[in-house]
Structure 1
Amino acid sequence: MLTGWRKTVSKFFLIPQRVVLAIMGFLAIANAYTMRICLSVAITEMVKKNYNNETVDGEDFCPIVGGGGEDSQGGEFEWSEELQGLILSAFYWGYVVTHLPGGLLAEKFGGKYTLSLGIFSTAIFTLITPVTIEWGGSTALIVLRFLEGLGEGTTFPALSALLAQWIPLKERSKLGSLVFGGGLVGTILGNSISGVLLHNIDGWASVFYFFGGLGVLWFVLFVILCYSNPESHPFITDEEKAYLKEELGTLERDKSLPPTPWRAIFTSAPMLALICAQIGHDWGFFIMVTDLPKYMSDVLRFSIKENGIYSSLPYALMWIVAILTGFLSDWCIARRWVSITNARKWFTGIAAVGPAIFIVAASYAGCDRTPVVILFTIAMGIMGTFYPGMKVNPLDLSPNYAGTLMAITNGIGAITGILAPYVVGVMTPNRSITEWRLVFWIAFVIFVVTTVVYSIWASGEVQPWNTPHLMNKSVENGDTDDEKMANEKKSKLELTLNEEKIDKQQ
Structure 2
Amino acid sequence: MPDRRQATTLMSTATTTNLTMPTTPPGGSGVKKTAGTYYTGLCGKMCNSCPCANCSKRYVTSILCSLGFMISFGIRCNTGVATGYFRSLYNDSELDSHPVSMGPYQDHFLKYKFANVTRNVERDLQWSPSVVGAVESSFFWGYLVTQIPGGIIANKLPATKIFGLAIFTSSFLNNCSCRPPVTEADFTATPQGCTYPACHGIWRYWAPPLERSRLATLAFCGSYAGAVLGLFLSGLLSDWLGWPAPFYFYGVVGILWFSVWWFNTYERPALHPGITEEERVYIESSIGENTNSNVISKSMNIPWRSFFTSMPVYAIVVANFARSWSFYLLITEQTKYFRDVFNYDMTKRHLFGSTAHLVMAVIVPLGGQLADRLRKKLLTTTVCAQDFSTA
TM-score between the two structures when normalised by the length of structure 2: 0.76
1:22 maps to 62
2:284 to 216, 230, 245: 245
Quick check: 1:292 aligned with 2:334? Answer: yes
Instruction: Work out the CA distance in 2 between the residues paired with 1:124 and 1:341.
Output: 40
Structure with greater Cα Rg: 2
Pick the aligned partner of 1:270 from 278, 288, 312: 312
Aligned pair count reads: 316
**Match for 2:369: what amino acid?**
F
8 A Cα contact 2:44 2:273, kept in partner: no
Q: Give the letter for the 1:262 counterpart.
A: W
Question: C-alpha displacement at 1:9, in angstroms?
Answer: 4.3
Q: 1:227 is paired with a residue of what secondary structure?
A: coil
| Identity across the alignment (%) | 28
Provide the alpha-carbon RMSD of the alignment.
Answer: 2.0
Alignment-derived partner of residue 40 in structure 1: 80
Q: Distance in 1 between matches of 2:123 and 2:172?
A: 24
CA distance in 2, matches of 1:256, 1:34: 32
AA aligned opposite 1:205: P
Other structure's SS at 1:181 match: helix
Distance (whole Å) between structure 1 residues aligned to residue 299 and residue 135 of structure 2: 42
For residues 297 and 273 of structure 2, what CA distance do their matches in structure 1 show? 20
The equivalences for 1:191-230 within 5 A come to: 191-201=231-241, 203-230=242-269
Q: 1:75 to 1:105 in 2, by over 3 A?
A: farther
1:404 alignment partner in structure 2: none
Please give the alpha-carbon distance, in whole angstroms, between the structure 1 residues aligned to 2:264 and 2:298: 28
Work out the CA distance in 2 between the residues paired with 1:212 and 1:256.
Answer: 33
**Take 2:123 and 2:267, find their aligned partners in 1: how far apart are those partners?**
45
Q: Give the 5 Å matches for 1:308-319.
A: 308-319=350-361
> Does residue 378 of structure 2 align to residue 342 of structure 1?
no
Residue-by-residue CA offset, 1:260-290 (whole Å, 9 max, x unaligned): 1111122222111101111122122111112
Decide which of 88, 95, 100 is 2:148's aligned counterpart.
100
Unaligned stretches of 5+ residues in structure 2 = 1-24, 26-30, 32-38, 89-120
CA distance in 2, matches of 1:240, 1:74: 60
Which structure dedicates a bigger proportion of its chain to strand? 2
- Conservation of the 8 A alpha-carbon contact between 1:181 and 1:319: yes
Deviation, structure 1 residue 217: 1.0
Within a 5 Å distance, the mapping from 1:149-188 to structure 2 comes to 149-188=189-228
Aligned match of 2:271 = 232
Conserved 8 A contact 1:230-1:252 = no
Deviation at 1:302, TM superposition (A): 1.0
Structure 2 distance, partners of 1:224, 1:74, is 47
Amino acid across the alignment from 1:152: Q
Alignment of 1:435-454 (within 5 A): none
Structure 1 position 256, deviation (Å): 6.6
Q: Secondary structure at the match of 1:45?
A: coil
Counterparts in 2 of 1:341-360, with a 5 A limit? 341-350=382-391
AA of the residue aligned to 2:351: I
C-alpha distance after superposition, 1:57-100 (max 9, x if no partner): xxxxxxxxxxxxxxxx9855332232112101101111111111
1:37, distance to aligned residue in structure 2 (A): 1.3
Q: Decide which of 301, 306, 326 is 2:343's aligned counterpart.
A: 301
In structure 2, relative to structure 1, the CA distance for the partners of 1:47 and 1:286 (3 Å cut) is farther
Distance 1:266 1:224, change over 3 A: same
Distance in 2 between the 1:314 and 1:47 partners?
Answer: 29
- Preserved contact between residue 122 and residue 152 of structure 1 (Cα < 8 Å): yes
C-alpha deviation, 1:115, in angstroms: 1.3
Task: Check the 8 A contact 1:188/1:313 in 2, yes or no.
Answer: yes
CA distance in 2, matches of 1:214, 1:32: 11
Q: 2:321 aligned with 1:321, yes or no?
A: no
Kindly state the Cα deviation for residue 255 of structure 1 after the two structures are TM-superposed: 2.8
- Please report the TM-score for the alignment, with normalisation by the length of structure 1: 0.60
Counterpart contact for 2:155–2:298, Cα < 8 Å: no
Cα displacement (A) at 1:157: 0.4
In structure 2, distance between residues paired with 1:236 and 1:75: 57
Counterpart contact for 2:227–2:357, Cα < 8 Å? yes
Q: Is the 8 A contact 1:230 1:236 kept in 2?
A: yes
Aligned residue for 1:82?
Answer: 130
Aligned with 1:44: secondary structure? Answer: coil
Q: Is the contact between residue 198 and residue 305 of structure 1 (CA under 8 Å) also seen in structure 2? A: no
The question of 1:119 aligning with 2:167 is answered: yes
Could you say if the C-alpha distance between residues 209 and 7 of structure 1 is closer, same or farther in structure 2, counting changes exceeding 3 Å?
closer
Instruction: Say whether the 8 Å CA contact 1:92–1:149 is kept in structure 2.
Output: yes
Letter in 2 for 1:233: H
Whether the 8 Å contact between 2:163 and 2:194 is mirrored in structure 1 is yes
Q: CA deviation at 1:113?
A: 2.2
The one-letter code of the counterpart of 2:190 is L
- Does the 8 A contact of 1:30 with 1:183 survive in 2? yes
| Superposition deviation, residue 10 in structure 1 | 4.1
Counterpart in the other structure of 2:8: none
More helix per residue: 1 or 2? 1
